[in-house]
Structure 1
Amino acid sequence: MNVVSAAFPHSTFPRGPYERAADAVIAQAGTDPRFLAQLLQGLTDLDAQREVRFSELDAETAGAVLRGADGSPFLTSIVDSAIVTLYSDPEVWDLLGYEGPSYDKGGYVDRGFDDLDWLPDPKIEFEDEVPA
């Protein structure tokens, strides 16, 4: 879970969504031997970078350690696995203000797709002449 929360830092997120995303990573590792090997090696490498285990690092230091692993097969695999679970979590949707998918309610067109009241109305200008 610490790797997932360091990779996707949100100060308002409780532990639950991070735990569910970490569980999805672990479940994938249980079905994919190559992914499991990457995961185990990557966790060992993270622990070796500091005098304390990665799981004991504060959030800022953990984030810095992960940024150092950016692009590695280990981190790429974790991000690819965890991102879908984390941001598909209805608890996360509530925290981010996302109302959820609209397809089962008839789509967005008749449900206020343009209700972004926090954005200013765009200024629309039309040219008098159309270029030839």
Structure 2
Amino acid sequence: MNATELTDEARSVLIRVIRVAFPHPSFPDGPYERTADTILREAENSTWFRVALTQGLLTLSNLAGGDFRDLNDEDGTKVLRRIETTEFFGFIRRTTVLNLYDNEDV
């Protein structure tokens, strides 16, 4: 669990997940990065979510057959559809909707 917990790698994967789940080519990187940071801060404050986040990231790696970040958008979307009913993805979706679209850069 400690290998991916709240690391730069976890942040990078989350940014990619958010970009694939909420694709807006005209959005700059900043709002996606700040949304991932919000998710990571929430994980710091909740043992339950920290575990769910870690397990979710590991599941993404397994479903991607390696690194989720290496998938193209179409394949990334297919992987996300397989986990869309999980608590992990539900939290990411809710947090992203509340934060990404409220960002002044968006």
| Residue 38 of structure 1 pairs with residue 38 of structure 2 | no
Contact 1:21 1:83 in 2 (8 A): no
Q: Deviation of residue 83 (structure 1)?
A: 1.7
Runs of 4+, deviation exceeding 3 Å: none
Q: Deviations over 1:53-94 (max 9, x none)?
A: 1121112211111011111111001111222110110111xx
* Structure 1 residues without counterparts, runs of 5 or longer: 93-132
Of 40, 60, 76, the match for 1:26? 40
Alignment of 1:1-132 (within 5 A): 1-92=15-106
Report which structure shows greater RCO (CA 8 Å, sep ≥6).
Answer: 2
Give percent identity, aligned residues only: 35
More helix by share: 2
Q: Deviations over 1:24-81 (max 9, x none)?
A: 0011111011111111000000100132211211122111110111111110011112
Q: Deviation of residue 23 (structure 1)?
A: 0.6
The residue identity in structure 1 corresponding to 2:42 is Q
* Structure 2 residues without counterparts, runs of 5 or longer: 1-14
Corresponding pairs, count: 92
TM-score, scaled to structure 1: 0.66
